[in-house]
């Protein structure tokens, strides 16, 4: 499908390319066992595939064989159908973005110079490079005017990592390889960077291969996850949902760790579940209307919205009486809301910490959309797990059928040859 428009070709964004690994093997001289043993994998254009596994399992080696930083001992690598196993590695690497842990920025160059490296190497015009640098900085959420001339050491770890990603994407490569890129930043920054990457990928649709040892990171980012065991043997290569609900073996379930159901909450967003509704009034409503609404609703609570329809206060029956009818004094302030894009895990966290066990959901400008409480959460989680289980079962059936068809075919073929 997606034609790799040459890097110096039209500015139309090159979207992802497929990657095929065929019997990819790396054997170091002097060791009996190969470090990576015959990896076969097909990565679709525009998907994020995560290699996850214990340290020393060869995931990083496998990644580095894709851009041939490590030359494979045997096997083929095909990008977008083109066999790149024997082409000039320098040429190959200019088509494949590469981002590494602790950013790998060159300390003696400014942010702009770092980002401009690859476009300069492939001979872009100066004006085009300048505008591209600004565009990339913008894309990764850094103000071009402010960061343009800074040196890497004048940036925080998270900012360096953003520039690292910007540099990797500068020449618009169809494929991006990321080797534990967020491994060296603090958990909060890592969370932000992960969100950013998801947002970027929504815009760019690159093919991303991402190595991590953090399974939670894998679930959060991956379209598909390859769980690797020693020598890069693929233990399971599937969607996060399938791996969580139906781990292939003990190794995978051990790696998934406890709390698969909890982790499943990370995969669903609030917008995907049914929200409850509570009666609302706004601060502009006359008191009488508020009383009427409370009486009519049959519930105990009202949500008071401010002028811009943002959740403001929870009002209970009796609150108004105690405050002698003054809205300013009545009720408890809403101190926590979640957005529609929050994960169910965030929502659960908010519900658990709320003293009445519910949390308001807000839209993009903070306006009220609905309410999530324990009950809605429980129901949707149950439904989700049930659906996952069914999917997994079906998937398994299919595989088994395929396998039995295959063996049948082989047997027939074998007997056919024997009689012929």
Partner 1 sequence: MNFWEYLGNRRQQLLADAFQHASAVFQCMVVATAIGVLIGVLTYRSQWAGNLATTVTSTILTIPSLAMIGLLIPVVGLGVAPTVTALTLYGLLPIVRNAIVGLRGVDPTLVDAAKGIGMSRLHRLVRIELPLAWPPILTGIRVSTQMLMGIAAIAAYASGPGLGNEIFRGIASLGSKNALNQVLAGTLGIIVLALLFDAVYVLIGRLTIPRGIRV
169 binds partner 1 (CB under 8 A): no
The beta-strand segments (E) located in 214-367 are: 224-228, 234-238, 280-282, 301-305, 311-316, 332-333, 337-339, 358-362
Should residue 117 be labelled a site residue for partner 1 when binding is judged by CB under 8 A?
Answer: yes
E strand or H helix at 371, and its extent? strand 368-373
What sections of 67-186 are H helices per DSSP? Answer: 89-94, 111-121, 126-139, 144-147, 157-169
Q: Could you tell me the smallest distance in angstroms from the CB atom of residue 91 to partner 1?
A: 7
8 counts as binding partner 1 under rule CB under 8 A: no
Question: With left for phi above 0 and alpha for psi between -120 and 50, is residue 360 left, alpha or beta?
Answer: beta
Instruction: Indicate whether 110 belongs to the interface with partner 1 (CB under 8 A).
Output: yes
Contact 82, 19 (CB under 8 A): no
Q: Please state the closest distance from residue 239 (CB atom) to partner 1, in A.
A: 29
Is residue 191 packed enough to be buried (19+ CB in 10 Å), middle (13-18) or exposed (0-12)?
Answer: middle
| Contact call for residue 148 and partner 1 (CB under 8 A) | no
Closer CB to partner 1, residue 104 or residue 141? 104
87 binds partner 1 per the rule CB under 8 A:
no
Q: What are 65's two structure tokens?
A: 């064989």
Q: Is 159 in the site for partner 1 (CB under 8 A)?
A: no
Q: Does 213 bind partner 1 (CB under 8 A)?
A: no
Looking at residue 343, the DSSP 8-state letter turns out to be B
Interface with partner 1 by CB under 8 A: which range of 74-82, 85-93, 344-352, 372-380?
A: 85-93
- Contact between 295 and partner 1 by CB under 8 A: the answer reads no
Nearest to 60 by CA among 211, 217, 175, 176: 211
Phi, psi of 53 (to 5 degrees): 175, 170
- Among positions 141, 151, 214, 317, the unique one binding partner 1 when judged by CB under 8 A: 151
| Among 220, 214, 212, 213, CA closest to 194 | 220
Of the candidates 172, 171, 180, the one whose C-alpha atom is nearest the C-alpha of residue 63 is 180
| By the rule CB under 8 A, 67 interacts with partner 1 | yes
What phi and psi values does residue 160 have, to the nearest 5 degrees?
Answer: -60, -40
Using the contact rule CB under 8 A, the part of the chain among 20-28, 93-101, 211-219, 348-356 near partner 1 is 93-101
Q: Which CA distances in Å does 74 have to 51, 66, 71, 209, 385? A: 20, 13, 9, 21, 42
Judged by CB under 8 A, the number of residues near partner 1 is 29
Q: Which one of residues 35, 65, 77, 98 is an interface residue with partner 1 (CB under 8 A)?
A: 98
**Site for partner 1 contains 322 (CB under 8 A):** no
44 near partner 1, rule: CB under 8 A: no
Site mask, partner 1, residues 228-257, x = CB under 8 A? ------------------------------
176 vs 235, which CB is nearer to partner 1?
A: 176
Q: Is 287 in the site for partner 1 (CB under 8 A)?
A: no
Q: Which of 12, 32, 90, 333 binds partner 1 (CB under 8 A)?
A: 90
Position 55 contacts partner 1 (CB under 8 A): no
Residues, the chain: 420
Binding residues for partner 1, per CB under 8 A? 67, 69, 90-94, 96-98, 100-102, 104-110, 117-118, 121, 151-153, 167-168, 177
């Amino acid at each position: 499908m997606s034609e790799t428009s040459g890097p110096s070709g039209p500015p139309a964004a090159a979207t992802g390319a497929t990657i095929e690994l065929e019997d990819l093997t790396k054997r170091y001289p002097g060791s009996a066992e190969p470090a990576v043993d015959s990896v076969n994998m097909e990565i679709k254009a525009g998907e994020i595939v995560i290699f996850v596994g214990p340290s020393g399992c060869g995931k990083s080696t496998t990644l580095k064989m894709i851009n041939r930083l490590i030359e494979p001992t045997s096997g083929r690598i095909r990008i977008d159908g083109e066999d790149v196993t024997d082409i000039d590695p320098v040429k190959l690497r200019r088509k494949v973005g590469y981002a590494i842990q602790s950013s790998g920025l060159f300390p003696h160059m400014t942010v702009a110079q770092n980002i401009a490296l690859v476009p300069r190497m492939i001979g872009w015009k100066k004006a085009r490079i300048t505008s591209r640098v600004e565009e990339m900085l913008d894309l990764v959420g850094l103000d071009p005017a402010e960061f343009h001339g800074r040196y890497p050491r004048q940036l925080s770890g998270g900012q360096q990592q953003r520039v690292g990603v910007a540099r990797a994407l500068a020449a618009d490569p169809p494929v991006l390889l990321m080797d534990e890129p967020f491994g060296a930043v603090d958990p909060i920054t890592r969370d932000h960077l992960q969100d950013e990457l998801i947002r970027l990928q929504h815009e760019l649709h690159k093919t991303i291969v991402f190595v991590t040892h953090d399974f939670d990171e894998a679930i959060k980012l991956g379209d598909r996850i390859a769980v690797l065991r020693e020598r890069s043997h693929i233990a399971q290569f599937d969607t996060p949902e399938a791996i969580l609900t139906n781990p292939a073996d003990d190794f995978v379930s051990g790696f998934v760790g406890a709390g698969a159901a909890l982790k499943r909450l990370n995969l669903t967003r609030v917008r995907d579940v049914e929200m409850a509704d509570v009666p609302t009034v706004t601060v502009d409503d006359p008191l009488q209307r508020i009383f009427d609404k409370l009486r009519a609703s049959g519930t105990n609570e009202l949500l008071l919205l401010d002028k811009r329809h943002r959740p403001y206060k929870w009002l209970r029956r009796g609150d108004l009486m105690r405050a002698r009818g003054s809205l300013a004094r009545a009720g408890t302030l809403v101190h926590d809301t979640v957005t529609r894009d929050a994960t169910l895990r965030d929502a659960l966290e908010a519900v658990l910490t709320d003293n009445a066990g519910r949390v308001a959901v807000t839209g993009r400008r903070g306006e009220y959309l609905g309410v999530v409480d324990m009950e809605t959460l429980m129901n949707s989680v149950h439904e989700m797990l049930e659906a996952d289980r069914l999917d997994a079962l079906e998937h398994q059936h299919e595989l088994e059928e395929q396998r039995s068809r295959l063996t049948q075919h082989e047997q027939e073929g074998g007997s056919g040859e024997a009689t012929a």
